[in-house]
Amino acid sequence: MSERIITEIPPKFNISSLFKRVAIYCRVSTYHIAQGESLKAQIDRYQKMVEDRCDWMLVKTYSDTASGRNTTGRTEFTDLMNDCKNGKIDLVITKSISRFGRNTVDILSNIRQLKKYNVDVFFEIENMHTSDSKSELLLSFISAVAQDDSAAKSHNIRVGIECQLNKGTSNLYSRPCYGYRKGKNGNLTIDEM
């Protein structure tokens, strides 16, 4: 009897090429309870969105609790960018441009990096894909507005605090600090103990 020869014929396509590899990015600014609930709601919403698509495969969900002014301290965002660079992701889904940040230069720089890696980003609120040829101009405009809005809010908060301090109505004056306690009238007194 002759020996059988088996020839393996490799598939002509990779099964993973049938699916778009999707990442979810969510961010909130503070650890406040309401923000934590918002973060959970964002994650749940986008995971459901990916599950509902038969041509999408969830790679990972990334989430940060940090300011959007810059990427410093946003470890999950850094991980997302590295995974995109390493070819693990085709599409990133996020709530809005402001989730990527509030600094126009940073946002555009990160989007351009992702385009180099052939990664599309979908911003749900703006209903925009970065793969669209008109997206960069619109991104510039929207992110500039978000940056200006953030700066205006910050300025208004500082002015409000300064006004309260000048009027003497700020709670900052009556906050307990080391070596002091609140007296009966609410003013700070030296803690003798």
pLDDT of 14 above 60: no
Kindly report, residue by residue over 67-94, the tens digit of the pLDDT: 666 667 789 999 999 999 999 999 999 9
Global confidence as pTM = 0.66
pLDDT of 128 above 90: no
All domains of the chain in start order, with CATH: 16-144 (3.40.50.1390), 158-193 (no CATH)
- Among the ranges given (34-38, 68-72, 130-134, 176-180), the one the predictor scored with the smallest mean pLDDT: 68-72
Measured distance CA(53)–CA(76) in Å, rounded: 24
Kindly report, residue by residue over 49-62, the tens digit of the pLDDT: 999 999 999 999 99
Q: CB–CB of 130/143 below 8 Å?
A: no
Tokens of 80: 């997302």
pLDDT at 118: 94
What average pLDDT is seen over the chain?
Answer: 80
pLDDT of 12 above 80: no
pLDDT at 131: 82
Taking residue 157's Cβ as centre, other Cβ atoms within 10 Å add up to 10
